[in-house]
Chain A
Amino acid sequence: MKYIKYSFVIILAGILIMPIIWMIAGSFQTADALIKIPPKIISKEMGIFNYIKMLKYPIFKWTLNSTIVSVSSAILSCMINLMAGYAFAKMKFRGKEIIFTAFLVTMIIPSQITLIPSFLIIKNLGLYNSYLAVILPSGMSAFSVFLFRQYIEKIPDEFFAMAKIDGANESQKFFRILIPLAAPVIATILIMDFIGNWGNFLWQMIVLSDENLRTLPMGVARILQQEMINRTDGLPGYGVMMAAATYSFIPMLIVFIGGQRYYLRSLFGGGIKG
């Protein structure tokens, strides 16, 4: 019974991981080897030629673009939401609960319905085809505000009271007391926002058309379309496609492995304590 269980899980995991193994192995194969039946994972003619061919596309430029918009969006929205979360958790002001509830309601609004008006706003602001077009809309996130509020409420008031006695004003309290104390949840939100923005390919496609501003997911999609049409020797460039797919997979893998501790924690809404 125990072995049946293990083998079921292992076989299923194997099926799911196979495409990724083919992707990595295929990226080092020649065009001929990729259409052989059955295809081999290891062959004699393996090399990095597909990666060299891939360089005819401005792939590093795309990576840089993706990095710029994802990092900026993550920092911007993290700041905005941290400020709001702090206010909701530790400050008293009129209308607090009403605004908080209104924020939460946005969680159920699908992005599809805001897509066209948001696009028109960006266009009317003259931001079409700019980094800002991607960065700006990723402001308030109800999920982040909620998580920040929950976490900050658990920080004892004494920390802030003592800082006040020492003569700290609100912004000093925010930067010197709150940010160090809330560092773990900030890391969580930053990683989640980063991954979310990196993959928000629909929005990027809508507001960016300039070749020079293309992000990595957009670029990879373009390579797929190009290589399916531009056939060399009558064949789609499967090798280049695999190389591009493998290349675009690496940043996500690094962020995931590096931030695993924070990333997984967030899923339990701060419910896990060390």
Chain B
Amino acid sequence: MKSERDSGAKQALSGRRSFLGLAAAGLGGVLIAPGIHLIEVAQAAARGTAPAGANAKVRWGLLIDTTKCASGCSDCVSACNTENGLAAPTRPTDAQWIRKIEIKSVATGRAQSLPVMCQHCAEPPCVDVCPTGASFKRADGIVLVDRHSCIGCRYCIMACPYQARSFVHEPLTAQKPEVPRGKGCVEGCTLCVHRIDAGGGPACVEACASAGHHAMLFGDLNDADSEISHRVREVASKQLRPDLRLDPGVRYQGLA
């Protein structure tokens, strides 16, 4: 009787082992196979594309003169929304690539108004933390999100000291072809990279100049002869949260 029971138990154990072995092999195959396939596809695609890169000698940047930036003026924000196909924000879930911030010194009471967008850091924390490398810095200093490899983990939003990124909370329609956007991905100011690559500058800077404020200046910080380089040499300007030493490409003049 005892030996029968033992033999039954052994059979059950053996069946259980085969089942577990098969299950483990099957699960391993299911998990690994698509990855291998995708790596092959990605490598094949990479072989077929010509490298198109930004100029590593350039460091695009902005100088914002807060003394010329009027409280209540939001021309730069409207221009950004129009250029990039963003709806005017009404809720905390809506994307804002640039916003006007009103600040007041606690010690002196001095009030100022200024635009804040992605600061295009030389040491961007969003790029460091991104698990897939979707957050990246171009050779010319522009920090972007690759919408094809962003998995929407939002870790970059947690890491950004400037609250400069937004998560697309809803399905989008009628996006602009030159500004790829999509639900479930993170996005932020691209410095109007599509315009820069076509030889232009950011829409916010253009709008500010068109309105006669001239509070924003765009240019190559690496070119000693550029207007922005002259200005940052001549006038006092500062980066936001300089204590973090992220070396943002956006500088502010007149910020107390």
Chain B binds chain A: no
Chain B interface (Cβ < 8 Å from any Cβ of A):
none
